[in-house]
Amino acid sequence: MKTRLPPPLPPPLRMKGKKTPLRRCVGCREMKGKTSLIRVVWADGDFSVDKPGKAQARGAYICPNSECLKKAQKSKGFERSFKRNNPKTVIYAQLIMEVTNPCPNGLSSER
Ligand SMILES: [Zn+2]
């Protein structure tokens, strides 16, 4: 006796076979999905947060939490990652503000 197997279910659409590329956090040095990290680039002589993640520049990544930021700051994670140094950089302060009080408009700190 023949029994027909039901057709296989289609895979869930949300993943669409696309894998999120992994990037290393400069703080905890763990590999994480690119989309769950904050991207930082070197531009115009300083580090800056690349919010859309589209800047055509070398990027470094960090987890959006203050623990990783502290670690990165202590070990000069971004400086080492870019082989650049800016003693006056505000990137760490900027990122800490970013993770501790996220502002939907991103404008409150600018004047
Ligand atoms: Zn981390």
pLDDT digits (tens, 9 = 90+) for 94-103: 999 888 875 5
Q: Kindly state whether residue 10 falls inside one of the protein's structural domains.
A: no
Domain extent at residue 29: 22-100
Closest by CA position to 81, among listed 58, 98, 48, 65: 58
CA angle 62, 86, 54 (to 5 degrees): 45
Q: Kindly state whether residue 52 falls inside one of the protein's structural domains.
A: yes
Looking at residue 109, what is its pLDDT? 47
pLDDT at 111 over 60: no
C-alpha of residue 3 to centroid of ligand 1, in Å? 52
Q: Is the whole-model pTM more than 0.85?
A: no
C-alpha of residue 20 to centroid of ligand 1, in Å? 17
Q: Kindly state whether residue 73 falls inside one of the protein's structural domains.
A: yes
C-alpha of residue 51 to centroid of ligand 1, in Å? 17
